[in-house]
Amino acid sequence: MNTLEKLTILSDAAKYDAACTSSGATRTARPSSIGSCEASGICHSFSADGRCISLLKVLLSNDCAYDCKYCVNRRSGDTPRATFEPRELADLTLQFYRRNYIEGLFLSSGVVKNPDYTCEQMIEVLRILRDEYQFAGYIHCKAIPGADSALIARMGLLADRISVNIELPSQASLQMLAPAKTKERILGPMKLISTSIQQNSREIVQYRHSPKFAPAGQSTQMIVGATPESDLQILTLTQALYRKYHLKRVFFSAYIPVQEDSCLPALDTKPPLLREHRLYQADWLLRFYGFDAKELLDERHPNFNPLLDPKCSWAVSHLDQFPVEVNTAPYELLLRVPGIGVKSAGRILTARRHCRLDFAGLKKLGVVLKRAQYFLTCGGKMVEGLHFSPDGVLRGLLLSQGAPQEPVEQLSLFAPKLPTREDVVSCLTGQL
């Protein structure tokens, strides 16, 4: 099998891994080296489904020893198999870079023989690129759960970002779909990476030329929709990973049915892309807006409403806290207003030191008034002609997000009655 055939198989096998975005790593290129990892040196392009494809995203091998039921590369799966030699893949990466096809490498792999052997082969690819070819571009490498800690440490010194996929949100799901993987084998390397990154950050302060360990941090990925966990369970786990292991990102991947199995959704099941989108929105609220997972969801409402984004959904459920006065509200409360982001909240704080803000001024500052107008007052007054009521807020937000305001049905002379406005709102908002 030639290199092109291997690349065709192994790049296609890597397409289900969503954690491929680059970061602001700043690996300094020496005069004799190739490439740069400056923040401006990583180009981004996106596929039709929104996934970043700026890097050469490829598997070292899809000849996996594990038989995870959800995976297209499972041992029992009927799929073409291929494996790169470390130097072959390093040469391919360098040739792609010189042709300006890519700016870096995203390297993952199936488990060849065992985790240690697979990690050794991946490290050899990185060693050839870094030490022999002096490649200073961005490299994101997936650590193999169960590999020796010394191998994980070596990988972290060669890669800009290192990650361990948690795959499924619970031990029960792992036991059902991926019996060769356990919670301990996944969280063990994650803890080691987190500890090493923090230790390295202290060493760099003391010794300027100390080698950097995964300077772009670590990330992980969860599959959404293959198992019955609720959004609350997924978001609670996400929050715990951020707080305990200081992850840069948790990526969510909507499950795409690729294997027929009684434990998995049917092959004709559509990927839950909207659910994935809502989880990403909620993840943003956890990281930048000061929200807690238990604020966004609870046991009575364990899943996000598909018609409203999580921030709007929270605001509608807490109308007792609104409207707020934009000229006096603290930063933390401004961040909770739908239509106000981190940047626009900062601009509001700066602008109101010099003048009293009105709605025209808020629009110039980047506030999305079609959502924020229901939750703000300027000088004690709301937008002229706007009446603050739960019914009006719901209908306005649904309209602003493109949701239909009335269910579509065929008119009938014998229909007992037409739906009332309250019926429409109840139908559209569901759990709210």
Q: What is the pLDDT of residues 291-311, one digit of tens each?
A: 999 999 999 999 998 888 999
pLDDT in tens, 177-194: 999 899 999 999 999 999
Cβ proximity of 352 and 324 under 8 Å: no
pLDDT at 339: 93
Q: Which residues lie below 8 Å from residue 215, measured CB to CB, with a gap of 6+? A: 25, 26, 27, 160
Is the sign of the CA dihedral 234, 236, 240, 246 positive or negative?
positive
259 against 230, higher pLDDT:
230
pLDDT in tens, 201-246: 888 888 878 889 999 899 999 999 999 999 999 999 999 999 999 9
**Average of pLDDT values for 253-269?**
89
Q: pLDDT band at residue 403, thresholds of 50, 70 and 90?
A: low
pLDDT in tens, 409-423: 444 444 455 445 455
**Average of pLDDT values for 379-389?**
77
Q: Position of tokens 């291997």?
A: 6
Q: pLDDT band at residue 48, thresholds of 50, 70 and 90?
A: very low
pLDDT at 19: 56
**pLDDT of residue 404 exceeding 80:** no
**Average of pLDDT values for 15-41?**
58
pLDDT in tens, 273-293: 999 999 999 999 999 999 999
**Average of pLDDT values for 352-362?**
93
pLDDT at 45: 46
20 against 362, higher pLDDT:
362
- Burial of 291 per CB tally in 10 Å (0-12, 13-18, 19+): buried
Tell me the CA distances in angstroms from 248 to 6, 28, 56, 88, 156, one per residue in order. 32, 21, 21, 31, 15
From the list 147, 95, 157, the residue with the least C-alpha distance to 126 is 157
pLDDT at 147: 93
Q: pLDDT band at residue 431, thresholds of 50, 70 and 90?
A: very low
Cβ proximity of 140 and 55 under 8 Å: yes
Encoding tokens for residue 366? Answer: 């980047």
**pLDDT of residue 59 exceeding 60:** yes
pLDDT in tens, 106-144: 999 999 999 999 999 999 999 999 999 999 888 999 999
Q: pLDDT band at residue 56, thresholds of 50, 70 and 90?
A: confident
**Average of pLDDT values for 5-34?**
70
pLDDT at 410: 45
**Average of pLDDT values for 52-78?**
87
